Amino acid sequence: MYSLSLYMLFNEVIGNKELKSQLIHTIQSKRISHAQLFLENEGSGGFALALAYVRYLLCENKNEDDACGTCRNCTRMDKLEHPDVHFSFPIHASKTDKINTSDDVLPIFRNLVKTNPYFGLEDWYQELGNSNKQGNIPVEEAHLISKKLSLKSFEGGYKVLIMWLPEFMKGPASNNLLKLLEEPPNNTLFILVSQKADNIISTILSRTQIIRILPPKNDEIKSYLVSEYGLNEIEAENNTHLSERNITEAIRLSQQLESSSFNIENFVHWMRICYKRSVPDTIDWVEQMAKSGRETQKSFLKFCLQMFRNSIVGHYTQGETVVMTADQRSFLEKFSPYINHNNIVLLSKAIDDAHYHIERNANPKILFMDLSLKIFLQLKKA
Ligand SMILES: [Zn+2]
């Protein structure tokens, strides 16, 4: 469902129409301030806008109002692999995992940006595998940045640093960046995309030009959810309203909706084939599951656990916002007696174990086949 289209042309970035023209104008009139702070509330598209701006700057064949999208530099920007464009962002530094700077997790970051250019901090931490741990931009990162920017540019033009959330720098890192801003190497452009200017030292703030990014309008969010996430009008309206003009949040809500309808459909299908003990159907299903991502598999297993527990209390929708079709509901009503006090403990344990092993990179084909066989046996007992 997620699109992997071009990232990012100005006309693809949601909202901020006037600001886009202003930004384009600064490039056309060659009045580019060397340090700019894109200041936004989460979910206003600041990072996507920074990408569009840099792309326009570097495009070899720009139009009046947008980059060409096809030149060599545009193609490199699509992949987020332009040799003169550097990214910096909060990380979970770890000596044991050899994560010292943004570069060590850059492929994960690129992937997230390509999947959802309106990602937020929560989404990023989830990608890093630890939603609860605070990130930071360590001093090693600041050293690396000065090293990169002191080199000659590959293309003879601008060298760019896009730093996402500079507020995550502590004292030593901030001081290093400040030094760079005070005495910038030739032809460098710093774009800091911040959601909390209060947490940035004032000497850095006073060195930057502040660009305010406005939250997108409701109808802009709504049509994005319809076109990119396949929501119907009512769902899109609903998520837009709940998000309070935060596109990041609106997308999160839409992803949850998408995964909840996938989970219920998948659960009903799986239990049907387990109940019938159909081996060929199970093999097909296992193949499909193995192809889905690890996060999808984990979320599905959690969902199954919840469904088994709900069977015991005879309440499928308890504490959950599961929207079911009449067909799914009637299957579950007939199925529910097969989950009971005799098998719930073993079933729960089997699911829990599978979840544990997926986190540790177990082979998903073997894992889901084994799990299906365990469920065959437990349903038989019932
Ligand atoms: Zn171009």
- In the reported structure, the alpha carbon of residue 57 is separated from the centroid of ligand 1 by a whole-number distance in angstroms of 9
Please compute Rg for the chain using Cα positions: 25
Asked, for residue 238, whether it belongs to a domain, the answer is: no
Measure the CA–CA gap between 197 and 17, rounded to whole angstroms: 23
Sorting pLDDT into bands at 50, 70 and 90, what band is 310? confident
Tell me the per-residue pLDDT of 131-179, one tens digit each, with 9 for 90 and over: 778 999 999 999 999 999 999 999 989 999 999 999 999 999 999 999 9
Structure tokens at 362: 């177990």
Same domain, 168 and 266: no
Measure the CA–CA gap between 197 and 355, rounded to whole angstroms: 40
Asked, for residue 1, whether it belongs to a domain, the answer is: no
The pLDDT value given to residue 322: 62
Give the CATH number of the domain where residue 105 resides. Answer: 3.40.50.300
The pLDDT value given to residue 3: 41
Measure the CA–CA gap between 278 and 286, rounded to whole angstroms: 12
The pLDDT value given to residue 133: 85
In this structure, the number of other CB atoms found within 10 A of the CB of residue 64 comes to: 6
- In the reported structure, the alpha carbon of residue 69 is separated from the centroid of ligand 1 by a whole-number distance in angstroms of 5
Tell me the per-residue pLDDT of 313-366, one tens digit each, with 9 for 90 and over: 766 655 555 667 787 888 888 888 888 888 999 999 999 999 999 988 899 999
The pTM (predicted TM-score) of the whole model is 0.78
Sorting pLDDT into bands at 50, 70 and 90, what band is 379? confident
**Residues 107 and 189 sit within 8 Å (Cβ to Cβ):** no
Q: Residue 270: pLDDT above 60?
A: yes
Q: Which residue has the higher pLDDT, 379 or 103?
A: 103
Among 215, 233, 265, where does a domain finish?
A: 215
Same domain, 197 and 260: no
Beta bridge partners of 193: 38, 164
- In the reported structure, the alpha carbon of residue 363 is separated from the centroid of ligand 1 by a whole-number distance in angstroms of 42
Contacts of 343 (CB under 8 A, 6+ apart): 378, 379, 381, 382
Asked, for residue 88, whether it belongs to a domain, the answer is: yes
Mean pLDDT of 283-291: 94
Residue 62 lies in domain: 10-215
Same domain, 183 and 263: no
Measure the CA–CA gap between 260 and 272, rounded to whole angstroms: 18
- In the reported structure, the alpha carbon of residue 191 is separated from the centroid of ligand 1 by a whole-number distance in angstroms of 20
Asked, for residue 228, whether it belongs to a domain, the answer is: no
| Residues measured by CB to lie within 5 Å of ligand 1, the ion | 59, 61, 67-68, 71, 74
- In the reported structure, the alpha carbon of residue 144 is separated from the centroid of ligand 1 by a whole-number distance in angstroms of 28
Same domain, 279 and 376: yes
